[in-house]
Structure formats: structure tokens, C-alpha cells
Amino acid sequence: MYIDFDRKNMRFMLNTDNTAYIFEIVGGKFPVHRYYGKKIDRPEFMKAKYHSFSPYQFCTDTYFSVADEFMEFPLFGSGDFRCTALKLRGINGDCCTQFIYSGYSIKNGRTEIPGMPFARPEKNSETLELYMRDELNSCTLTLYYTVFPECDIISRSFSLINEGKTAVKIEKAMSLSLDLAGHEFDLISLHGKHMMECMMQRTPLFYGNQSIMSRRGASSHQFNPFIALALSGADEEHGDIYAFNLVYSGNFLDEVEVDHAGNTRVAIGIGSENFGMRLEENEEFFSPEAIMLYTENGLGEMSRKMHAFVRGCISPPEICQNRPVVLNTWEACHFKIDEQLLLDFADEAKKCGIDMIVVDDGWFGERCDDRRGLGDWYVNSEKFPSGLRDFAEKIKDKGLKFGIWIEPEMISPDSGLYRAHPEWCLGCTGRELSLSRSQLVLDLCNPEVVKYLKETFAGIFDGVPIDYIKWDFNRHLSEVGSYALPYDRQDEATHRYMLGVYELYRFFINHFAGVMIENCSGGGGRYDLAMMALSSQIWTSDNTSPSARMKIQYGSSLAYPASVMSCHVSDPGNSENEMRLLDFRYKTALGGILGYEMNILKKSVQVRKEILEQIKFYRMVEDIIKTGDMYRLISPFENTSEISSYYYAKSGGSRTERILFSFLQRNRDEKKTLYLLRIAAADGAYYREYFSGKVYSGEELRSGICINASAEDASGQIMLFELTDKA
């Protein structure tokens, strides 16, 4: 049993294999947080100290104040002055929010969240539902806690139902709030921009509120929803880490606040900006799921647990199987899609060991550049004279798979769909709409639009042997309103838009069963757990330069595994360094799901032969990378030589292997040329390195392999160690 209730002390205890989370119902009314950390038998409970100027009405004794206590689910407007989890405008128009504990239930498995992606339970998952009631507003609040014991993860979400006759309105919704003693933490987060996602930053907490968020209608390239609090001094291998993430792809807020008493509150959720949800009688709101994890063993273990969680509980179950090596047409053709050229690509791709041709943008409507055609989902008959099905069958006849690009959420003003239905865009009445990449966003709050898209794509793709869909999303939401929503529900548009997106995804998953989806938003603009639940992989970045990828992939590995990270080798150019640059690109792309993006017809025989060899090696090691444990060794964010190194380790079955990567972009630091890379290995065991044939003892690997970082700039090295009997 992982969740327990101690009735005498009114204490809830949630356990994972290595962590414990405890809270109590104080005075029979208030859920107060007591402990989150390493699993221990008799935890010391922190009790908050009462401070003057803290209101204590509705308290159990004079010194209990919601302004000082560690509240499980802090409420706006009733004396807790820190950042709160819920703001509710009640029947009298004020935002005084008071929910009182009214009961609980514990069950095996989990409660589903209607309309939204959520984590699949582990075999031993259990869920606590905690009920709270605001009598004045006739509202019931349910807090959901699901434990994922193996991954040491606890997830949280809430629902709120209005059982009264008068409407209420949720104005801030945070799925998770956690109070921690002290503030000796660094906040670690991933910021970025288009072409440069997932840049790591680490800053000490200060007194006051610090947050990262997206107001873009997408989880965004700019800030990823993942954050961690690392105890000052914690590193890859040591130290307390609390990590958080949100299973949602729209606007989010990750709030961290160090309060007057020097304690830290973390809250993760949709937030309040551009968000509201009006609830009429019997209407219910469900928040997205947020997750949290604790480890005492540093950032490396945090990531390995997060990776295991994504693979086991988030990604579609077949995530690690049958991942095709694709040849995507984008960088080679852009909008100049030509059937014969693609068939020639296919012949050559087959010889190189590639599995699939993905026809990217430009195959439909009048889409000859990025200024028109989105929304007009019919096959361009000049580009495919005998239709899509015929073309796809020709590709299949060559023994390849067939993939295709779509951007269903968007519409170009220069399109038949816009001319017929200008009111189907998101927009604000009376306002001119801003364009981005010459496009507008379809109003997926409007069920009519979602229905139209379902019918349109079924009409065009039914009967076509499609194996893979690349689903793109190439702008953010600016004038967010919906012509389909009434005046007093306009601030629901951003969230309802996401619900429409999720509905459309579910339609694709069910209707085109077995078709693999690659998510993309100009690269990693929706690199989040919800998209990972709906797709098999994500195009990590539009930037395929290995020096940029070195950082982007390293940064995203903090929270996300290689099994979702789509990485393509793009054209290294025709210089005398072509083969070395091809090798550097390939070795970088090997850190995820390998693919190619270049005009292979224009490449020399030598390059094509090399691609064949690259794919052979990838097939040999992909399982270690996709399903193994990742250990980061040298961070490209921390050294001056632009070096990065990490390895994946996999034990089990008949093989035990480690694959070590090290990259050198540019050596700016002449002195630091030698690096010791320490690799976890067993005492008394021997490991053969695949390329050199050299045998190393476990002790040798643990004490470190020496790499020479003064080797050529822009190069990558790989070492593959396999357990062997022979010394």
C-alpha cells in the first residue's frame, strides 16, 4: 500500500519506492503540508511559526494562520498572502475563497482527466482524492494525488464543480502547490527561442516571487514548463533536487516564492493570465496534471527518473519500437515538391538504409511558399498528378514507409477556407489580427471547426497508406478570442483551444490507428509532456547545426529522454571537410532518434556509403540510447572549450553496454585539453571497446577514460563498451 491515512492524527502519507509525502488535516479543516523528501520512518514535522500581521480568523487556535502555514492547496483571498493555487470569483462577486476539508477516498490506479492527456498509471499506482467544500459558493473542490512508486513521482491535479444555481468563475488555476522549508535552492529552468530551445539556466532563489511562464498559447520555445529546485551545491551526482513539470501544451506558470519567513513555495499550473473559466450550475473544470519528483542524488538521477517516467507513463507504449530512420524533404526541397524527384530520393534512400520518405510542407492546395494555402487540405494535382494514394503506394512498392506533414491548426488569409470562413480564426471582435509567418490560427474552441478538420483529414487520408504524420504548429496565439464563445467566456479561449487541439489529436490517434505522429512546432515549440503523451517523438529544433544541437539536446535531456528527441543529419556542405562535418552531424544526431534531411541525389557516392554505415551502427546501438540510463559528464553550458560529453548505459538481457559521446565544438581553452570521463562499471568485470578492440576493467572505466579535447574542432567521438568475459 503506497497511500495511507492515519485517522488519529488526520494524517495522509503518500509513498513512492524512495520518497514520502505527508500532510495533515489541521483542526479537521485545513490540509497542511508536513513533509516531502526521502522515505523515512519517523519524519520530523516542520511546524510553521506564527508571525504578527498574519490573520488567524477561522483558525483552530490563535496561532494557526494560513499566512504562515505550509498549505497543501493555498487559496486566494482569505489570508494567505503568498502565491496561491486557486482564485475563484464567487456568487457575491468577491474572490474570498474558502474550501474546508470534507472527506477523502483512496483507490488503485488513477482518476482520468477528461479532455486532457495524463500519465498512464504504473502497475502499483494509487490515487488519493481529497474533497473540500465551499458552502457559500456551493462548490466542491477535489485534489487528486497519484503516486508512481517506481519512478518516485507524485502527480497532482484538481477539479472544481459548481453545484449551486449562480455562476462562479475560476481566475487562477495551479495544479500543484508545494511549500518547502528554507530557500537555499537554485532554480533550474530551460529558456530559449526558435532555433535555440532548452538552454539551461541556474540561479539562486531570492526573497520574493520569481517565475517562468508562457503567455503564447503554447508551452513555447521560450520557456519549457519543466523546472527544478536544486539545493545549493547539488550537482549531477549529489544533493537534494525537487523537480516539477506540467502535462499541458498551452499557457503555463511555474511560480516560486520565497516568503517573509524564508520558506519556499512552488506552484505549477495554467496560472491566471489570459485565463478564466466560468462555471454554471453543474459545470466542472479539470486542471491539467502536474508532476513532482524528489531525489537526494543530484540532477543525473532526477533526469534518469524523469526519462523512465516519460518512457513508461507518458509516451505511447510502443515508443521504443520500430522507429523509422526518415528522409525528410524540408531542407532539400522546401516548397518545391516534385513527385519524380521524390521517387528518385526514395530509390537512393533505400540503398542508404533509410526506412521512410516524409513529404514535408508544400504538397497541398496552392502552397508554393509560406504565404498561402494553409487550411486548403487537398492534394496539389500538379505536384501529384495521380494523387496521394498512388504516390504513397509507389513509395511503399519500393519497400519504404510513407510519412506526410500537416499543420491542421493554422489558416492562411490567402486560402479558400479563409475566404469561406473568416470567422473560423481565433480573433477579437473589431480588432485587426496580427500575422505570424503570414498565418492565422484556427479557432479550435469552435466544435464546428474541429469537426470540419476531422472530416477533411479523413477525406484526404483515408485509403492512403500513411505510416507517419508530422504535425506542425508554426505561430503563437496573439489576439485570443473566439467568435464561437459568448462575451463572458472570452477569457476561456486559450484553454478551450488546447482542449480542441487534444480532441483533434485523439481523433487522429484513433481514426488513423497505428500511424505514428511526430510533433513539431517550428522545432521544439511544444516540447512538453502532453505532446509527448500524444505523439511518438518531437522534432527537437529547426536548428540542425551540431554545435547548436550539442546544447539543445543536452539541455532537453534534463527533463526528457532520447526516445522522444527527433534528430536529423542535415547537409554538411561540399567543402573539403565534408566527411568530418557529416560525421560530427551524425554523432550529434545519434543522441536521439536518427533521421536525414538533405538532397542525397546531390551527394557523392562516398557520402551515401557513409550514410549506409551510419544507419547500420545506429541500429546496433539505438536501444541503449532510447531505453538506457543517461549520465551527463561535461556540460556545454559550463565549460569554455565548448565540450560536451554524456553516456548511456544499459544492462540486462544478454548484454551490458555503455555508449559514450564526447563532442568538441571549439577549443578556446588551451590548457584544458585532457578530460577524464568516469563511467559506471562493475568491479571485476571487463568491457571491450568496439572501435579500438581494447579491453578495460570496470575499475579502469570508473576511474576515468582520458579524452583529448585538443583534437580537431567540430568533431565528435564515440566509444562503445560491451561487457566481455576475456580480460
* Active site residues per annotation: 472, 542
Which of 110/526 has CB closer to ligand GLA? 526
Among 225, 523, 561, 628, binds ligand GLA (CB under 6 A): 523
Give me the least distance between CB of 630 and ligand GLA, in Å please: 25
Q: How far is the CB of 520 from ligand GLA (least distance, A)?
A: 5
Strand 695-697 and strand 705-708: the pairing is unpaired
Residues 6+ apart with CB under 8 A from 19: 36, 37, 38, 39, 152, 154, 293, 294, 295
Q: Which amino acid is at 195?
A: M
- The residue type found at 439 is Q
Rounded to an integer, what distance in angstroms lies between the CA atom of residue 87 and that of residue 158? Answer: 13
With respect to ligand GLA, which residue has the nearer C-beta, 197 or 610?
A: 197
Q: What distance in Å separates the CA atoms of residue 323 and residue 339, rounded to the nearest whole number?
A: 25
Of 104 and 405, the one with the shorter C-beta distance to ligand GLA is 405
- Name the residue whose CB lies closest to ligand GLA: 361
Nearer to ligand GLA, 34 or 526 (CB): 526
The strand pair at 284-286 and 277-279 is best described as unpaired
Q: Give Cβ neighbours of residue 287 (< 8 Å, ≥ 6 apart).
A: 113, 157, 158, 159, 173, 174, 175, 269, 270
Q: Which of 217, 284, 632 is nearest to 444 (CA)?
A: 217
Site string for ligand GLA, 185-214 (x = CB under 6 A): ------------------------------
Name the CA radius of gyration of the chain, rounded.
27
CB of 322 to ligand GLA, least distance (A): 22
Backbone phi and psi for residue 419, each to the nearest 5 degrees, phi listed first: -65, -35
Identity of the residue, 474 or 553, whose beta carbon is nearer to ligand GLA in the bound complex: 474
Q: Which of residues 594-613 bind ligand GLA (CB under 6 A)?
A: none
522 part of the interface to ligand GLA, by CB under 6 A: yes
Instruction: Identify the residue among 330, 497, 527, 696 touching ligand GLA (CB under 6 A).
Output: 330
- Three cell numbers, residue 158: 484538481
Q: Which of 261, 158, 269 is nearest to 212 (CA)?
A: 269
454-462, 516-524, 619-627, 712-720 -> range binding ligand GLA (CB under 6 A): 516-524
Compare residues 375 and 523 and give the one whose CB is closer to ligand GLA. Answer: 523
Residue from the set 542, 571, 629, 657 that interacts with ligand GLA by CB under 6 A: 542
- Residues 290-329 touching ligand GLA, rule: CB under 6 A, are none
Classify burial at 697, counting beta carbons within 10 Å of its beta carbon; exposed 0-12, middle 13-18, buried 19 or more. Answer: middle
Q: Which is nearer to ligand GLA, 527 or 631 (CB)?
A: 527
Instruction: Give me the DSSP letters along 353-384.
Output: T--EEEE-SSSBTT-SSTTS-TT--SB-TTTS
Nearest C-alpha neighbor of 30 from the set 92, 127, 98 = 98
CB of 221 to ligand GLA, least distance (A): 11
For residue 358, the minimal CB distance to ligand GLA (Å) is: 9
Residues in the chain: 727
Cβ-based nearer residue to ligand GLA, 520 or 611: 520
When binding is defined by CB under 6 A, the residue of 171, 289, 472, 583 that contacts ligand GLA is: 472
For the bound state, the minimum distance from the C-beta of residue 363 to ligand GLA, rounded and expressed in Å, comes to 11
Which residue in 286, 539, 560, 647 binds ligand GLA (CB under 6 A)? 539
Measured in Å, how far apart are the chain's first and last C-alpha atoms?
46
Q: How far apart are CA 185 and CA 232, in angstroms?
A: 5
Q: Quick one: which of 317, 305, 168 has its CA closest to 243?
A: 305
Using the rule CB under 6 A, give the single segment among 240-248, 299-307, 515-523, 660-668 that binds ligand GLA. 515-523
- Candidate ranges 268-276, 408-416, 518-526, 604-612; the one touching ligand GLA (CB under 6 A): 518-526
Contact between residue 155 and residue 171 where contact means Cβ atoms under 8 Å apart: no
- Site track 384-413 with ligand GLA (rule: CB under 6 A), x = hit: ---------------------x--------
Is-contact 708 680, C-beta < 8 A? no
Residues touching ligand GLA: how many (CB under 6 A)?
Answer: 11
3-state secondary structure 688-704: EECCCCCEEEHHHHHHC
- Which among 29-37, 233-241, 517-525, 530-538 is the span making contact with ligand GLA, rule CB under 6 A? 517-525
From its phi and psi, is residue 333 left (phi > 0), alpha (psi between -120 and 50) or beta? Answer: alpha
Binding positions for ligand GLA, 334-363, rule CB under 6 A: 360-361
| Interacting positions 474-513 with ligand GLA (CB under 6 A) | 474
Contacts of 407 (CB under 8 A, 6+ apart): 361, 374, 471, 472, 473, 474
Query: Whole-number minimum distance, CB 332 to ligand GLA, in Å?
Result: 12
Q: How far apart are CA 357 and CA 232, in angstroms?
A: 48
**Stretch near ligand GLA under the rule CB under 6 A, chosen from 132-140, 201-209, 520-528, 553-561:** 520-528
Q: Which of 516, 520, 538, 558 binds ligand GLA (CB under 6 A)?
A: 520
List Cα–Cα distances, 558 to 178, 299, 552, 635, 641, in angstroms.
21, 8, 10, 11, 21
Judged by CB, which is closer to ligand GLA: 566, or 717? 566
How many Å apart are CA 216 and CA 116, to the nearest integer? 19
Query: Smallest gap, in angstroms, from Cβ of residue 148 to ligand GLA?
Result: 32
| Residue number, 27 or 413, with CB nearest to ligand GLA | 413
Q: Residues interacting with ligand GLA, by CB under 6 A?
A: 330, 360-361, 405, 472, 474, 520, 522-523, 539, 542
